[in-house]
Chain A
């Protein structure tokens, strides 16, 4: 070993240091020897070597002194140096022939020589070691970190199967309502907690981006950024390299300007939601997914199959190319030439799929969902109310058609929705509008003339008739406030819940309802994740136009843990726009009987590109009168029904093909 020495006679400062690469046998530079002999120079180079030799003895491993780099630093004056290797690897080479690299920690010596503390002090260190140890996947360390999630047996079984058997590459093809997203989140969190993943990409349809972001944050404590966030946009292409957890629509990711950047990065985990969009391997989306550099990958879909068994091949090939052979081989082995949806060699196909796919079904899970009964209360408005409704609604429709400003359009739509809720909500909305535009003043005056509410009256009667605890949803704070007042006057104890409460107030509201309150009066915001299953009555005081939101409301009660049948009451003013929308959702597709998540599948099966609520608005605006609107709604309803039938057909096909063969096995 030789050094290229600094001149020790030069004027060093404490803290000076040099980097050295060592080779050959150790020799002190001659120029230093006289200084060493007369002890002017205390050079810890020798000590470093001794340390190293001691380490060798201590570890019992034949160590090769690494070539470097070493740090030689002046420790103290006069001329006391310390040489220490910057990287030391204590590796036992004897096991390399077995393909196992065994290494020891160089810090062991420090632990042995550390000053003993009191036992309770060490206990803290022991606890820290326990907490930061990732045991095998038999024990899921992430379970205690989940929030507001009812973890089900089939979900933990799925997570373990995917992590242990599938090595983190899987198709999660659970039936709708079995919690695929939760399973994917649990897998993500498990890998994340063990520091096996850092860079995460979630690809999903645009409508699900917000939901993914919210769920990752709320339930799994993982913050992410979406591709449409201003910070992301501002960075341009570099954003794909910069942010560790990204949620994007596959439509965006596959665009020319993003594709290369997305493909460039090595992703530790890629999650693709609604992966049936990747069923065709000739599409850019499939190609993108195939080209991504990824360690782990999860494909989420409830309907992996639609038109052709080859679609299944395409999904599997993304994860494990060759598992089902080539496309040609797959076709000749597993597809009936006369019917592309009829499999051949089904047993063998199941066997192969069981290496990559999980499908839990409600029928074989331990979860039991109770029944739901929905009843619509079509409340006739009195003349005064109806006049007010028609005037406001007429104004909205007439002006919406012409209005080009997005903000004004939104205000008008919000006013119409408020009308569907209550006069109080409409009045608040009108007052805000009138502040900016006097044209609304007469409508404000008309609203103020209203006394009493037929809907509110029926609401109070309904509460008495039902007799048990009830969750009441309204979209509008003003409706909520007035209802709370009415309930107070009627002597009915009420817990108020809305997005303006902080978390403690929210928790207190839920506790109040769990205790003495009869009514839980809630807006849509924030009740997610709260356990309300102890109640089995729900009143929709008004109805969102977006059926997915209605589904979410129902899902608050009709979920795992609910012991009783759930009763849903929909309050709607007769002969209004809301009455017609409810007719569409209830009579045409039986929204209230659908399993949580099925509405999404039905909407996904529609040919329409726009959201259902926008479609309804458009039909309403395009119609000259109510009969014409009803006619158009009927046509939309027929489309929805067909989409529902298509979805059911897919579901039945998947059931027939997969049955229970892909349910994860018990431990």
Chain B
């Protein structure tokens, strides 16, 4: 089964539709009215025949051939994209009473812990997916993921590995309060800035290629038309010497000017590069961590600080406040 076929069946299931496989690569589908409306399928009364094989159309002329470029597929993809743009998962299975936490902190920080208070808090990550589109005379797209810790806005590239190791649930399991977070706007800005950075690198590379090519083409066209004009004026000169009518040469020269203008405009158009960044999905990930309040002895000084213990990585992943 092709990825497209499996996607469509998945889609039908998710939106509350029903389907039946009539033949290989041919399905009969029923969709709720509300979905039909979303897909702008106003004329479909009952069933929808979907085929992934053009040959099936000979036997089922009413079937929709689902291939890229088909308007129905475009609608389905757009609908599916907007259907679950964001999701939230809760991670579980953490050890929130780590054995000899103090000793571990001392080892990690290289200090002596005089006092340790701890309480569990629910911390969050946001996993953004941005779609980058670069459009010139070709179109190139890419998906850029950015994962941020929502407490500090730091990149959290370790998260995919954490997701593999811990249970993912749809509902919260830990009854702990939320840790303070960055404002959504600030977080989004940070994510987009990171995504733009990667996208801009690609865009600048493409722009450089475009310009190089356009410079080359422009030079070629200019020199080509210069040569054509020169050849024409030579012919015109000879015609003058022979006393012939030169009106047609003048006409040709004018045509050359116009044609050159069109060609150069074409090249100028080819220089244009548009970069669009679009947020496609966000996955909110909730994980418990231990908020720590520490009094430590460092050299001859005592300090108080706040930190978070990440039971997934068994590391202290941030320090929120330090007091002398």
Contact = CB atoms under 8 A, between A and B. Distances in A.
Is chain B found bound to chain A in the same assembly?
yes
B273 A100 contact: yes
A135 B87 contact: no
Interface in A503-521: 503-504, 507
Residue from B76, B83, B85, B131 with most neighbouring chain A CB atoms (10 Å): B85
Contact of A122 (B53, B84, B275): B84
A98 B203 CA distance: 10
B77 interface: yes
Nearest to A132: B77
A124 B77 contact: no
Interface in A128-143: 128-137, 141-142
Interface string A309-343: 00000000000111101101100000000000000
B17 to A, nearest CB: 12
A128 B53 contact: no
B273 A135 contact: no
Given A116-B88, A125-B281, A218 B54 contact: yes
Contacts of A329: 227
A193 B141 CA distance: 13
A232 interface: no
A328 B231 contact: yes
B58 A101 contact: no
B77 A128 contact: yes
Contacts of B211: 99
A600 interface: no
B207 A98 contact: yes
A326 B279 contact: no
A193 B277 contact: no
A116 B86 contact: yes
Interface stretch (A106-114, A405-413, A465-473, A534-542): A106-114
A322 B225 CA distance: 8
Nearest to B13: A124
Contact of B59 (A132, A221, A503): A503
A100 B210 CA distance: 11
B142 A133 contact: yes
Contact of A132 (B81, B220, B227, B275): B81
B221 interface: yes
A410 B168 CA distance: 72
A145 interface: yes
B204 A98 contact: yes
A100 B68 CA distance: 29
B87 A122 contact: yes
A375 interface: no
Contacts of A307: none
Given A112-B188, A193-B68, A325-B227, A133 B141 contact: yes
A222 interface: yes
Interface stretch (B94-102, B111-119, B132-140, B173-181): B132-140
A221 to B, nearest CB: 4
B224 A322 contact: yes
Contacts of B200: 95, 100, 102
Contacts of B78: 128, 132
Contact of B86 (A117, A192, A222): A117
Contacts of B2: 144
A235 B50 CA distance: 31
Interface in A26-79: 54, 57-60
B4 interface: yes
Given A60-B189, A217-B54, A321 B69 contact: no
A304 interface: no
B227 A111 contact: no
Given A112-B282, A134-B139, A147-B53, A321 B24 contact: no
A168 B139 CA distance: 12
B277 A134 contact: no
Interface residues of A, number: 72
A665 interface: no
Contacts of B69: 192-193, 195, 221-222
Interface in B42-78: 53-56, 58-59, 65, 67-69, 74, 76-78
A123 B131 CA distance: 16
B65 A221 contact: yes
A99 B224 contact: no
A337 B58 CA distance: 58
Most buried by B among A101, A116, A217: A116
Residue in B59, B74, B193 whose Cβ sees the most chain A Cβ within 10 Å: B59
Contacts, number: 222
Interface string B255-287: 000000001000000011111111111111000
Contact of A326 (B129, B138, B228): B228
Contacts of A323: 220
Contacts of A116: 86-88, 284
Contact of B276 (A57, A59, A103, A123): A103
Given A112-B184, A322-B224, A503-B58, A128 B81 contact: yes
Given A104-B278, A221-B65, A194 B139 contact: yes
B249 interface: no
Given A60-B189, A133-B142, A504 B137 contact: no
Contacts of B168: 119
Contact of A108 (B55, B137, B207, B278): B278
Nearest to A244: B69
B80 interface: yes
A121 interface: yes
Contacts of A167: 137-138, 213
Contacts of B204: 98, 100
Contact of A124 (B56, B83, B276): B83
Contact of B11 (A111, A118, A124, A503): A124
A645 B217 CA distance: 40
A105 B277 contact: yes
Given A121-B84, A131-B3, A326-B224, A126 B281 contact: yes
Nearest to B80: A128
Given A57-B185, A129-B143, A119 B170 contact: yes
Contact of B271 (A99, A102, A110, A114): A99
Given A147-B53, A217-B54, A195 B139 contact: yes
A127 B68 contact: no
A430 interface: no
Interface in B222-265: 223-225, 227-228, 231, 263
Given A102-B196, A103-B275, A108-B278, A127 B138 contact: no
Contacts of B56: 503
Interface in B12-64: 14, 23-24, 53-56, 58-59
A500 to B, nearest CB: 11
A126 B280 CA distance: 8
Contacts of A126: 129, 280-281
Contact of A503 (B4, B55, B220): B55
Interface of A: 54, 57-60, 95, 98-105, 107-108, 110-112, 114-119, 121-137, 141-142, 144-145, 147, 163, 167-168, 192-196, 217-218, 221-222, 295, 320-323, 325-326, 328-329, 502-504, 507
A-B pairs, top 6 by smallest CB distance, nearest first, are A322-B224, A122-B87, A128-B80, A105-B278, A121-B84, A116-B88
23 contacts: A59-B189, A95-B200, A99-B211, A100-B207, A104-B277, A105-B277, A112-B279, A117-B86, A124-B7, A124-B80, A125-B81, A128-B76, A128-B77, A129-B131, A129-B281, A133-B131, A133-B142, A133-B143, A141-B68, A321-B224, A321-B263, A322-B224, A504-B24
Interface of B: 2-4, 7, 10-11, 14, 23-24, 53-56, 58-59, 65, 67-69, 74, 76-78, 80-89, 129, 131, 137-143, 168, 170, 184-185, 188-189, 192-193, 196, 200, 203-204, 207, 211, 213, 217, 220-221, 223-225, 227-228, 231, 263, 271-284
Given A59-B189, A195-B139, 12 more contacts: A60-B193, A102-B275, A103-B276, A111-B282, A112-B86, A116-B87, A117-B87, A129-B280, A168-B138, A195-B69, A321-B263, A322-B224
